[in-house]
Amino acid sequence: MSYNTIHVEASRSYDILIGRNILPRIGEFIRPLVGECRIGLLTDSTVDTLYGEKIIEYLSDAGYNVCKFVVPAGEASKCAENLLDFLNFLAECKLTRSDAVVAFGGGVVGDMAGLSAALFLRGVKYIQIPTTLLSAVDSSVGGKTAIDIPAGKNLVGAFYQPSLVCCDTVLMDTLTPEIYRDGCAEVIKYGVILDKNLYDTLQNVPFDRESVVARCVEIKRDVVQQDEFDNGVRGLLNFGHTFGHAIEKLSNFGVSHGAAVAKGMLIAAKMAPLCGFCNVALELAALLEKYGFDLSCNYSADELYDAILSDKKRRGGEISVVLPRAIGDCILVTLPVEELYDKLKKVIG
C-alpha cells in the first residue's frame, strides 16, 4: 500500500505516515524507532471493540509484546484518575525506559497517552495511531498532550513530541457522521487560515480523504516547526476556538467541539469587518452549511463574553482572537477585553 510521509523537525523529529490500509505494517514502521520493546497500548472502548484484536495481532505478529489498557470512550476519560491508572498499569507491566507507549484512538486517547509517555520514567517514546479525522489532522501532530481537570479542559499537560504518527485513513470509515463532521470543522479551519487552494477543494463534498488529511498535516507541521511551544504563530490554529470553547462550555459540552468551532469560526468571520478586514462570513457560512453544520448561536454576547473571560488564552485585560483577512489568510489580533465585548454585541446582538 502506498502512503505519504510528512517529516516534522521539532525538539524530537518524526515522520507522519498517511495512507489507506497501512495499519497492518505498523510493526515494520515502528521497529527502526523503538527496536524490540514492550508496548503499553492505550485505547478506548469503542476503538477497542472495532479494532482491538487487529492492532494486537499486527503488533504481535511483528514480535511485540503488548499490554493493553482500555478507557471508556468519551472526553470524561481524559482525567487525572485514568492517567494515574494507566501510569500504574505501565509500571505493573514492567515497562522500562526503552519501551514505548502507543496511542490508538482519537484525541482523547492521544492526548492522555502522550502525557503518560512524557511522565512515565521521566519520558518514554510514544507512537500516535489516530483513528478520528480530528486526531489525524490536529491532535496527533505537534506534541501537545494533556488531560482535563475539574477547573477546565486541557489545563494539565506537556509539550512532548511522538516518535511516529501512523494514520490509516481506512479506520475513519467507521466514524459516525457527527464525529466525522467534527473533524471537517478543523479541516475547513486550515483552509481559512492558511490555504485558499485547500478551501476551494473542500467545495467538493465529500473530499478526497488521503490528500486532504495530508495537506492539513503539512499545514500544521509548518506552523509547529515555526512555533513548537505556542508563543506566536501557532495561535493561528485557534481560529474559531476562542468563541467555540465558550459555546462548548456554555452548552455544558452538549455542543460537540467541531460543531462549536464551526459556530466560532463564523463569529470570528463576522467580527473581521469590524476590525477593518474583509467580510468572508457569507462565503464561509455557505461552506460550513454544505457540511451540515448548524450555525445558530443560542447564547447572548454577554454569556459568550463571560465564558471567554475565563479562557486560558486571555492575558490580563487583553485577549487574542484569530480573524480572517481573506480566505487563506488569517491574523492574530489582540484586543482589550472591553473592545471584544463591543464587537461581540455588534455580531451577536
Shortest Å distance, C-beta 240 to ligand NAD: 12
Q: How far is CA 282 from the centre of its chain?
A: 26
Nearest to 263 by CA among 277, 273, 250: 250
Shortest Å distance, C-beta 256 to ligand NAD: 8
Shortest Å distance, C-beta 45 to ligand NAD: 7
Rounded Cα distance between 69 and 46, Å, is 13
Shortest Å distance, C-beta 245 to ligand NAD: 10
Of 225 and 300, which has the nearer Cβ to ligand NAD? 225
Of 68 and 270, which has the nearer Cβ to ligand NAD? 68
Nearest to 331 by CA among 343, 339, 323: 323
Of 31 and 153, which has the nearer Cβ to ligand NAD? 153
Rounded Cα distance between 294 and 247, Å, is 13
User: DSSP characters for 10-43?
Assistant: SSS-EEEEEESS-GGGHHHHHHHHH-S-EEEEEE
Of 125 and 144, which has the nearer Cβ to ligand NAD? 144
Count CB neighbours of 93 within 10 A: 16
Shortest Å distance, C-beta 107 to ligand NAD: 2
Neighbouring residues of 276: CB distance < 8 A, sequence distance ≥ 6: none
Residue closest to ligand NAD when measured from CB atoms: 107
Rounded Cα distance between 170 and 91, Å, is 33
Q: What's the helix, strand, coil split of the chain in %, to 5?
A: 50, 20, 25
Shortest Å distance, C-beta 145 to ligand NAD: 6
CB 116 within 8 A of CB 102: no
Rounded Cα distance between 342 and 349, Å, is 10
Of 172 and 307, which has the nearer Cβ to ligand NAD? 172
Rounded Cα distance between 135 and 148, Å, is 17
Of 15 and 339, which has the nearer Cβ to ligand NAD? 15
Q: Which DSSP state fits 63?
A: T
Of 259 and 284, which has the nearer Cβ to ligand NAD? 259
Shortest Å distance, C-beta 213 to ligand NAD: 13
Instruction: Outline where DSSP puts E strands in 289-338.
Output: 314-315, 318-326, 329-336
Shortest Å distance, C-beta 228 to ligand NAD: 12
Of 37 and 70, which has the nearer Cβ to ligand NAD? 70
Taking CA 117 as the corner, what is the angle to CA 184 and CA 176, rounded to the nearest 5 degrees? 25
Shortest Å distance, C-beta 98 to ligand NAD: 25
Of 55 and 344, which has the nearer Cβ to ligand NAD? 55
Footprint of ligand NAD (CB under 6 A): 44, 46-47, 50, 73-75, 78, 105-109, 111, 131-132, 134-135, 138-139, 142, 144, 153-154, 171-172, 174-175, 179, 182, 257
